[in-house]
Amino acid sequence: MSQQDRLVIFDTTMRDGEQSPGASMTKEEKVRIGKALEKMRVDVIEAGFAAASPGDFAAIQAVAEAVRESTICSLARAVDRDLEHAAEALKKAERARIHTFIATSPIHMQYKLRMQPDQVVEQAIYAVKKARGFVEDVEFSCEDAGRSENDFLCRIIEAAINAGARTINIPDTVGYAIPEEFGHKIKTLLTRIPNSDKAIFSVHCHNDLGLAVANSLAAVANGARQVECTINGLGERAGNAALEEIVMATRTRQDLFNISTNIDTTHIVPTSRLVSSITGFPVQPNKAIVGANAFAHESGIHQDGVLKHRETYEIMKAEDVGWGANKMVMGKHSGRAAFRSRLEELGVTFDTDAALNEAFARFKDLADKKHEIFDEDLQALVTETISNSAPEAYKLVALECHSAIGETPVAEVVVSHNGTEQRSKANGSGPVDAALKAIEGVANSGANLLLYSVNAITQGTDSQGEVTVRLEKGGRIVNGSGADTDIVVASAKAYIHALNLLLTGAERQHPQSDGV
């Protein structure tokens, strides 16, 4: 198959996805996601923006060391410091890519960069050449290309390719484009730029008008051969194009696209679950491909049709995207070795015996409450063990609550704060409300609750509830998560997790906020 028939899948869950409010990931979490993406055979993994903070730098380094099959990429503005940080963080990667960018729309050049178009072209050439001094594989992006003039794009892209860029990315940064128009833009650039055959053209679409996937597909139909996307469509504001939708649309409609990806689609659902559990961003039930209802046939007519002949109402097989791959893997009699080996299959390894022992103890507790333990339960358990392994100011020691029809729910908690235990009691509109108010009685954080959500991790009424609590304080937003078969306990754990995140988060620079 020729290169023209292959679509490169570039995943930016850990960079653009991480720019979603509260979705920041730790180094260990990024390594877990990186390994899952590698198993799925993603071509390029953008692991972060190395210059954002020492933590971001260390996370890219760790992903570059742990993931050997996919290309690992760092974002860098077109400035020396960013490019040097990116190169340094990627040093140990088997295959490294530097992704440098500069804004090209009139509005961004005038108000954000305060630069003349000629200066922007010079800076782009400088950055691409400097990046090529570090790595062979350099990608150049024209930020806000969706609102940039085609004449200027042709000029800067031709110069970037001559300077050594191998991939040219056309982002619709603010999600403004409409599919026909965006497809036409790609075709125009490919036709008018004399050296366009020397680079792969890529797109990176945001979902502000709900068109990120449609715009990306229109671009593919017009010659783009890389799509930048994220698991579950995570990303800045309304998010990016969803990887699972791009992959399944091009695969299901090969008759139209005549293109293939390298993706092992059976890893899509487990990876979606992993990203959701780590970031605390639940997947809506009616989300295409990975939503709980995506393959559920509610109406009698549909069920009848599917039973007679599956293709009457199903255009994809649930098992092809990894539904049903979740087996009952363990129970209360499973031993430590089986536990460790199953987690290794899920891409989780423990640095120390103490960490393994702690996770195993949690597993035994869970197995006492819940007969069947699924992969999803193990993922949630590991997420919690890892996030709890960091030193924590607040710890939930005890929780008791009472609710009955006709009575005001009441909860009493014991929370330890820097080792000192405090007791607090509160009423609420329900037991969850009472429990969170009781915790706030100790913490007095004054944080604003932006979101509270509960999701059943698996099926059945004995399922663990996975709770996300999003808090905001002083402009910082964090997502706390907690899982338990008792959703009041899960909620209390999630609230405590969010309080600890508010205390520990480091300052980081946003790549698109200012500067070049």
Contact between 101 and ligand KIV by CB under 6 A: the answer reads yes
Stretch of residues binding ligand KIV (CB under 6 A), selected from 151-159, 167-175, 288-296, 370-378:
167-175
* 185, two tokens: 């833009």
Which is closer to ligand KIV, CB of 143 or CB of 375? 143
Contact between 202 and ligand KIV by CB under 6 A: the answer reads no
Contact between 143 and ligand KIV by CB under 6 A: the answer reads yes
Phi, psi of 160, deg, nearest 5: -65, -40
Contact between 171 and ligand KIV by CB under 6 A: the answer reads yes
Which is closer to ligand KIV, CB of 28 or CB of 46? 46
Contact between 56 and ligand KIV by CB under 6 A: the answer reads no
Output the smallest distance, CB 97 to ligand KIV, in A.
13
Name the strand (E) or helix (H) holding 454: strand 448-456
Supply the DSSP symbol for 122: H
Please give the torsion angle defined by the CA atoms of residues 501, 504, 507 and 511, in that order, rounded to the nearest 10 degrees. -40
CA atoms of 284 and 458, how far apart (whole Å):
15
Which is closer to ligand KIV, CB of 15 or CB of 35? 15
* Greatest pairwise CA separation for the chain in angstroms: 76
Amino acid, single-letter form, for residue 62: A
10: left (phi over 0), alpha (psi -120 to 50) or beta: beta
- What lies within 8 Å, CB to CB, of 197 at 6+ separation is none
Output the smallest distance, CB 56 to Zn ion, in A.
16
Contact between 16 and ligand KIV by CB under 6 A: the answer reads yes
90: left (phi over 0), alpha (psi -120 to 50) or beta: alpha
Contact between 409 and ligand KIV by CB under 6 A: the answer reads no
Which is closer to ligand KIV, CB of 206 or CB of 370? 206
Contact between 43 and Zn ion by CB under 5 A: the answer reads no
Contact between 204 and ligand KIV by CB under 6 A: the answer reads yes
Output the smallest distance, CB 514 to ligand KIV, in A.
13
User: Which x/- pattern over 4-33 shows residues binding Zn ion (rule: CB under 5 A)?
Assistant: ------------x-----------------
Which residues on adjacent β-strands are paired with residue 498?
A: none
User: Which of Zn ion, ligand KIV, none has residue 141 at its interface (CB below 5 to 8 Å by kind)?
Assistant: ligand KIV
Name the strand (E) or helix (H) holding 167: strand 167-172
Output the smallest distance, CB 237 to Zn ion, in A.
9
* 79, two tokens: 């400035």
Stretch of residues binding ligand KIV (CB under 6 A), selected from 78-86, 169-177, 217-225, 398-406:
169-177
- Are 378 and 350 a contacting pair, CB within 8 Å? no
Contact between 144 and Zn ion by CB under 5 A: the answer reads no
* Helices 353-369, 336-345: crossing angle, 10 deg rounding: 100
Output the smallest distance, CB 140 to ligand KIV, in A.
10
Tell which one of 173, 385, 479, 500 touches ligand KIV (CB under 6 A).
173
Residue number, nearest CB to Zn ion? 16
User: What is the bridge-based pairing of β-strands 167-172 and 410-417?
Assistant: unpaired
- Are 426 and 342 a contacting pair, CB within 8 Å? no
Which residues on adjacent β-strands are paired with residue 448?
A: 472
Q: Which positions touch Zn ion (CB under 5 A)?
A: 16
The residues binding ligand KIV (CB under 6 A) are 16, 75, 101, 141, 143, 169, 171, 173, 204, 206, 511-512
